[in-house]
Chain A
Amino acid sequence: MSLRTASSGAKAAPRSPQGTAGARRRRVDWPAWRAFILLTAPIVVGLLIFKYIAMAWGFLLSFSEARGTISLGNWVGIDNYRQLFADPRFQDALWMIVLFTLVIVPITFGISLGLAVLVNRLRRGRAFFRTTFFIPAAVSYVVASLIWKMSLFSGVPASAANSLAGLLGQEPTAWIATVDPPLYWIVIITVRLWLQVGLYMILFLAAIQNIPAELYEAARVDGARSEWKLFRHITFPLLRNTSVAIAMLLIIASFQAFDEFYNLLSTGLAGAPGPDGRPPLVYLYDVAMGQQDYGLGSAGAFVVTLLIIAFTLTQSRLTGFGKED
C-alpha cells in the first residue's frame, strides 16, 4: 500500500509546541478530569443502570424460577437452559434464524455491493441515486412491515403483488398466510432487503471512493481492460476490511430479527405469530411478555447472545477480520 503511506505519514508530524513542556507537568490535571467525568457521567451512568445492571440482573434471572416476578432468590440452577433446549419450538426457532441468516446475509451483501459499484460509476445523478437508495434505511421496520402487509402483499386481488400475478394469469395469493410452500419468506426477505440495502450500499460506496484512482489507471496500463477484471482484482480485494465488517453487522442484525416478523406474522388480538416464521426473539418475547416467564426468557436471551458471538467469532476467524493487510 505504498500509495497510502504518503497521506498516513502526515499524521505522524510533530504535535504541538507544548510537547517539550509536557514532560515537566506530570501532576494530575484535575480540571480536565473533572470536565471528563462531568461530560461522560450521564452516558456512563445511563449505560450502567439501563444496560449493564439490567444485563447482570437478566443473567441472574436466567438461573432462577421467575414467573410473574423479577425478584431473584428462587434458584433453579440450569433448569431454564435445560428446558429451553428440550423445547422443540425453541429448537425450530434457532434453526429458522440460522437458515434466515444464511439466506439474507449473502443476498443483502451482494445487492448492496452491486448497487455501490453501479452508483459509483454514474457520471451524473450520483447524489440522486445515492439518496434514493438510502432513504428506506430511515424508515421504521414497523411502518415498512405494515406497508408490506397491508398494501404490497395483502391477500386481496387489488394488492400490488396480486395485481402483478394477475397480469401473469395467476390467481390471487395469500402471500403471508401461505406457509406450504413458504411464500411468506418472499415477504420477509424483500422487506428486510428494502430496509437494509441502502445503508450497506452507503458503507460500500464510501470504501470504494477511498480506493485511489491511480490503481485503476495502472491496471488499465497493464492491460486489464474489462470492468469485471478491475472489480475482481482491485475493487473487491481492497474492500476486504469493509466487506468483513459489513458481513459481521449483517449477521448480528439477522440474529436479532424481530420487528418485521412480529408485525407481519402476528394477527392482532391473537398475539404472537404461529410456528412458521418465528425467530428466537419473537419466541422469547412471547415467553417473557406473554407467559410472564422471565427466567426462561432471560435464559433464551443469553443463548441467542452466545449464538451471535459464536457466529461472529467463526466468521472473523475465517475471514481474518482485524488482521493487517
Chain B
Amino acid sequence: MSGSTPGLSRRGFLGTSLLFVGGVALNACTSDPTGSDSGSGDAKITLNHWYHEYGEQGTREAAMRYAADYTKANPDVAVKVTWVPGDYKTKWQSSVLTPDGPDIYEINEVTPDMVQQQQVTPLDDIIGSTKSELNEHALGALTHSGKTYGVPMIIDVMYLYYRKSLLSGASIQPPTTLTDLVAASKALTKGKTKGIFVGNDGIAGMRGVLAFSVGQQYLDGRKAVYASPEIADALTVARQLFTNNSMLLNYTTEWYQPDALISGATAISWGGMWALPALQKQIPGDFGLIPWPKHGANGKPVVILGGWSQVVNGKSKNIDAAKKYVQWLWLQNADVQKDWALSYGFHVPPRASTAASATPLQSGEAKTAVEILNQYGIRNTALWAPSVQKPYDDAVSDIIKKNADATATLTKAQQQSQQALDALPQV
C-alpha cells in the first residue's frame, strides 16, 4: 500500500463498499422475498401462481408438478408457483395493490371491493356448462350480479365430531337439537373432560351456524336480517354452554385441529373434514360426526362449507393465458382435482361428478360427511364481507360472554352491518 494517499484509498474503499451494500440491498428488494420456483426458461409468458401454505405433506410438490405438466403441454407458458407461508391474506392483499401482483391466486370469498378494484376477473366463459356441477353455495361466495369470479378448488366441510365412547358411557344419544346439545354437554363434563369445544374464545365455530340452525339467514340479498327473535333465542340458549362450565376454553390448540378431541379434553367438538385422517389414525372407531343441531320450530341442522377457490387477477397482463391455465387445472383435469383434494389432506372436490367418483369418499365417516354436506351444506354469500360481519361477531361476543340483551344487541349490530353493506360497491 502506498503511504502517500492513505486518505483517498480509504475513502475509495468506503465508497466502493457502500455501493456494494447498496447493490445488495437493492437486489434483496427486487428479488422475491417469499421464495419461489420458476418453470422453464424459454417460455413467452410466465404466470405467477400463489398458494397459501397448505399444511399437508406433499401439497407443494403437487402444485409444482401440475405447473410443470402444464408447461409440458403448453411450452409457451411457464408457471411460477409461489408458496406463501404465514399470514397469506395480508400478503396477497398488499401484493394485488401493485401492478406486479400474482396472475392467479387463491381466496376464500370474493368481496365486492375486490371486484370493484379489479383484483379479480369474471370466469364464466371458462366455467361454462360445468357450472351446474359445482356446489351452489361454494359458487355463492364467488358470485356477484350473476358473474362468477372464482373456481372452487376444494370444499372443506365443517360439522360436529363426538367421541362415541364418551357419549355411550354416559348413555347419551348424539344431540339433534340445540337444547339437547346443551344438556349433553353438561352431562359429559366430568373431571378433565369438557362437554363441547367450538374454539378457544368459546364462539369461533358457533357464531356462523346459529342463524342457519333456526332456518334463517344472516343476509337477504343486500339486507342484514339477523336481528330476529329466533336467532336471539338461539344465542341465549347457546350462552348456557358458556355459563354452565361445559365448554372447553383456552385449550392449547384450536378447533380446527382435532387434538382436543383425541386427548379427551372434550367430548364434542366443532371441526372440519380435513381432520378425518388424523382421527381415523388416532381414535379409529371411537368418533362420529353430526351436523350442528337445529333450534326452534323451523330449525334445520347445519353443515358449513368452506374451502379455497382460484381467482385470476383482473390487473394481470396475461388474463387469457391465466384463465386457460385455471380452466385446465381446476375444471378439465379431474385427476388433478382428485389428487389435490384427497391425496394429501381430506377435502371434497367441488365438482359433483369428480366427488362421486372419488373412492375415499365412498365409505365410512367420509361418506357420512359428504351425505350431510349434500343435505345440509350452506354458507354465506359473497356480501357477508368482513366489514359486514364484524358488528355481528362483536354482538355475539357481548351476548354470549357478557350476557348482553340479545334482541337489543342484535338490532344495534344489524344497523351497523346494514351501513357496512350499503357502503359496499354495487358490482
Contacts and interface: CB of A to CB of B under 8 A. Distances in A.
The yes or no verdict on A and B being binding partners is yes
B90 A289 contact: yes
Interface in B245-268: 245, 248-252, 254-256, 265
Given A68-B116, A156-B265, A267-B201, A180 B403 contact: yes
A284 to B, nearest CB: 13
Interface string A147-171: 0011101111100000000000001
A149 B249 CA distance: 11
Nearest to B424: A67
A281 to B, nearest CB: 14
B186 interface: no
Contacts of A34: 11
Interface string B209-246: 00000000000000000000000000000000000010
Contacts of A180: 401-403
A35 interface: yes
A174 B250 contact: yes
A260 to B, nearest CB: 15
Nearest to B252: A150
Given A38-B14, A89-B394, A274 B387 contact: no
Contacts of B390: 89, 286, 291
Interface residues of B, number: 47
Contacts of A292: 93, 111, 113-114
Interface residues of A, number: 43
Interface string B378-410: 000000011100110110011001110000000
B201 A274 contact: yes
A241 B218 CA distance: 57
Nearest to B242: A177
B15 interface: yes
A258 B248 CA distance: 26
Contacts of B248: 155
Contacts of A155: 200, 248-251
A174 B255 CA distance: 16
B386 A267 contact: no
Given A35-B14, A177-B200, A290-B386, A269 B251 contact: no
A175 interface: yes
Nearest to A158: B192
Interface string A232-273: 000000000000000000000000000000000101111000
B106 to A, nearest CB: 15
Interface centre among B201, B252, B256, B394 (most CB of A within 10 A): B201
A154 B250 contact: yes
Given A38-B15, A68-B113, A68-B117, A276 B401 contact: yes
A87 to B, nearest CB: 8
B293 interface: no
B397 A276 contact: yes
B387 A291 contact: yes
Contacts of B14: 35, 38-39
A289 B89 contact: yes
Interface in A42-74: 42, 67-70
A179 interface: yes
Contacts of B255: 268
Contact of B201 (A150, A156, A171, A177): A177
A94 interface: no
B119 interface: yes
A153 B97 contact: no
B352 to A, nearest CB: 27
B252 A67 contact: no
B199 interface: yes
B86 to A, nearest CB: 12
Contacts of B11: 31, 34-35
Given A35-B14, A38-B18, A292-B93, A274 B394 contact: yes
Interface in A166-195: 171, 174-180
Interface in B308-366: none
Interface centre among B21, B97, B248, B425 (most CB of A within 10 A): B97
Given A149-B250, A153-B250, 7 more contacts: A41-B18, A68-B97, A68-B119, A176-B200, A179-B402, A268-B200, A274-B397
What are the 4 closest A-B residue pairs judged by CB atoms, nearest first? A155-B250, A174-B249, A68-B117, A68-B113
Interface of A: 31, 34-35, 38-39, 41-42, 67-70, 89, 149-151, 153-157, 171, 174-180, 265, 267-270, 274-276, 286-287, 289-293
Interface of B: 11, 14-15, 18, 21-22, 25, 89-90, 93, 97, 111, 113-114, 116-117, 119, 192, 199-204, 245, 248-252, 254-256, 265, 385-387, 390-391, 393-394, 397-398, 401-403, 425
